[in-house]
Chains A and B, each alone.
Chain A
Amino acid sequence: MILWTPMQLELVFEGLEKMSDTGYRHVCHRGVHMLVEKNSDGGARVARLLSTDPRDYLKAEYVPGNMLEC
């Protein structure tokens, strides 16, 4: 792999050795793909939408930080 970036490599690779799970899960909620953060009581909080449809980003339920209803 060759990384081509103007960023300092020390900054990019900081913590590579002791890297752990990011805590994000990739889920598909009613046809919309997104990354969610699972919390201890089983709820899922929207972290980042992965949809390409710009209208999905206008839906109030998919605002990052919102808890998903199952």
Chain B
Amino acid sequence: MPEYRSYDEEPGVFPYSPDIDPEPSVEPDYPHNPGEDPHHPGDDNPRNPRRVHGKARGGVESIKEFGATQLPEVKSNIHCITIVGQVEGHLVLPPQNKTTKYEHVIPQLVAIEQANEIEGMLVILNTVGGDVEAGLAIAEMITSLSKPTVSIVLGGGHSIGVPIAVATDYSFIADTASMTIHPIRLNGLVIGVPQTYEYLDKMQDRVVNFVTSHARISSAVFRELMFRTGDLARDIGTVLIGKDAVEKGLIDEVGGVSQAVARLKQMIDEKKGKGVPLQ
């Protein structure tokens, strides 16, 4: 290390070595024993305990200030997706429509698939139908989830709600809930694309194929319900209420939230049981 005899010898050069403490008068706030292992202080020379400043969030303050208690942060292992109003796809509907947006639901489904703490998913439907492509996309996503899924139709699960309801591993319908099954072409809307009868027929086939491959109902019975005359006033089609949907093989069981959650828990337990190798 070079020695500096005078500050003037090399002007502009800071003459101190960085090895020397700049302020030797400042003491560290607990005695520093260089020979001691800092992780295992000896019994005869324990490290001075230091008080940690700060306060717990919430707690007493919130009770005193607001009269509110802090709920413990618990995350549910069952998450739910609500399909309500119109299923909205490529076109934003006017604001008087309550809508379930495709771009909200799809990332939620991806997150549910990815999150380890989520073990099952409940789909709650009260929908009046909507965009065929968006509805089928949601239904396909639900089908391809690796976690147990249960759906429950409350109120209504009409039109495109039918494939979403049958997409889950098990489906429930409330006693008074209804499902309307009617042909697509009767109120299919033409926007931009010249839609022919054949095109609409193909769209309808996509829906029929999806429903019949995910529910006990056969293609012939589903089409018969779709084109039945006399059941609806201004349209041809069928309204299935509660147990009718179960009898036709569309839905698995009549039930409410308690049955749906119990069934989901049972399926989660079965899946866990399968994952653990038996001794």
Chain A interface residues toward B at CB < 8 A: 1-7, 9, 11-16, 19, 22, 33, 50, 52-55, 58-60
Contact = CB atoms under 8 A, between A and B. Distances in A.
Contacts of B203: 2
Contacts, number: 99
B158 A5 contact: yes
A15 to B, nearest CB: 4
Given A2-B131, A3-B189, A52 B111 contact: yes
B128 A6 contact: yes
Contact of B79 (A9, A16, A22, A52): A52
14 contacts: A1-B191, A2-B132, A3-B188, A4-B132, A4-B135, A4-B207, A5-B86, A9-B187, A9-B189, A12-B94, A12-B97, A14-B94, A15-B94, A50-B104
B195 A2 contact: yes
B180 interface: yes
Given A7-B128, A19-B94, 20 more contacts: A1-B131, A1-B133, A2-B131, A2-B132, A3-B130, A3-B131, A3-B132, A4-B130, A4-B132, A4-B135, A4-B207, A7-B129, A9-B187, A13-B93, A19-B92, A50-B104, A52-B111, A53-B75, A55-B74, A55-B75
Contacts of A22: 95
Contacts of A54: 76, 78-80
Scoring A1, A2, A14 by chain B CB atoms within 10 A of each residue's CB, the highest score goes to A2
Contacts of A15: 94-96
A51 B69 CA distance: 23
Nearest to B107: A33
B90 A1 contact: yes
Nearest to B156: A6
Nearest to B122: A54
Interface of B: 68, 71, 74-76, 78-81, 86, 89-97, 104, 108, 111-112, 121, 128-133, 135, 158-160, 180, 182, 184, 187-189, 191, 195, 200, 203, 207, 232, 235, 237
